[in-house]
Amino acid sequence: MWNEAQIHALVEGQRQFFRSGATMDVGWRIQQLKHLKKAVQAHEKEIELALAQDLGRDATEAYFCDIGSVILEINEALHHLKRWARPETHWSGLVSFPSMITKVYKVPYGTALIISPFNFPILLSLGVLAAAISGGNTAVIKASSKSAESTKVLQKLISSAFPPEYVTVVDGGHDVADLCLAERFDKIFYTGSPRVGVHVMEQAAKNLTPVTLELGGETGNWCIVRKDADLKDAARKIAFFKILNSGQICININQVAVAEEVAEEFLDLLQKEFHRQIGPDPVHNEEYPCLITEAAYQKCAEEAEQYKDRIRLGGIGDRVLRKFAPTIIYPVGKDEPIVQHELFSPLLPVVPFPDDQVDEILQTIEAREHGLSLYIFTKDVAWAKQVLARMQYGGGCINEVCLHLMVKGVPFGGVGHSGMGAYHGVWGFREFTHPSTVLIGATKGNLPLREHPYKGLKGAWKKKIIKLVER
């Protein structure tokens, strides 16, 4: 178990290493990214086994969601880091004459703290680490105590690739996380719940440390299914997404709002899709993931019990296996408790609404805390684009789910209770660097426009020229 002295010594060691200047060289960073990629590939089977033990994940799902996604993130940095890190050159403008050249340097923050969650313990630690390395930082990863086997593999993987003064993994519970937060880091990146996000910000504020928060959203992510949607396609994709990691995904669908004109048809198709993809007995299907802890299982089972008279599918589980079946609950009012908080489970409330009153559903979504994702299924893509262009949320899809997370070159992040900041690709590099503007001054040809005196004829002449160049 880590103690205060050990954490302090670790952070100070990383700070000294950063001050040595070793991380500033872009070529050196590229080598570290290659070490990280090689380590992930070398420990692939161990990662798959750990994810199976922690979350009941099948090897294919483990590779798709964690291993492969990390490799994609590393590869993008390897391909583009030289360009990302190149100083920008800007024309200073007439107001700065004769000092006409300004540079913007991408300066690393220094020593970073990465606090990762249990649900995607590899992706949401090493994917963030790739951005931190790209930016030229050292990093302490505080891994989740809930996904204990994955944390063990992370420690082994990182120690095989990097010295602790550069990158290391710290295990332990909230007490160890607080020891880390008590240290003066130069950057903190936290993925988890809004409640803990508030605590992270409070601690970071003591040192004015910049923070990136990737949160699930207080009231969960909505999916809207209009009456003109391709219902079979929507049901197929929504079922897949709810099965994935047993619903323990920050961008997962928390509740579906479906046009009441097609609600019964949609529900029928959704039930068929759950059966087709995971079978009639998902609880005993080896491919179906489990909930992370017995407490998570208990919370899910108790909430399902409250709505047992409206369960259309599922509602059963196995406490020993920590598996709870995908559960459709219908009908649910838009103001009921189950759609007022993030579920993080395989429960799926379905809220019916008259299709011509879709604006009321949108107003409900807007009135609550901003979600991390928003999904819309409709043939009226133009309308959906207008909606998604004006709503406040992290990111989303039209006639699709979750894949916006996989697109190269675009940001991923939330707003308000779903987070702040964004990463992936160049956006991750930006998140871990400070853009430092440096004007290169000329020593000859300087004009006295900015200097006193400001009164009299000289002042009037100066003001006219300044107004001419500052228009």
CA distance 124 to 129: 9
The answer to whether the beta carbons of residues 185 and 111 sit under 8 Å apart is: yes
Query: Could you tell me the two tokens for 10?
Result: 């670790």
Nearest to 263 by CA among 302, 196, 310, 322: 310
Nearest to 32 by CA among 121, 106, 113, 129: 129
Nearest to 39 by CA among 206, 215, 162, 213: 162
Q: Which residues are catalytic?
A: 214, 250
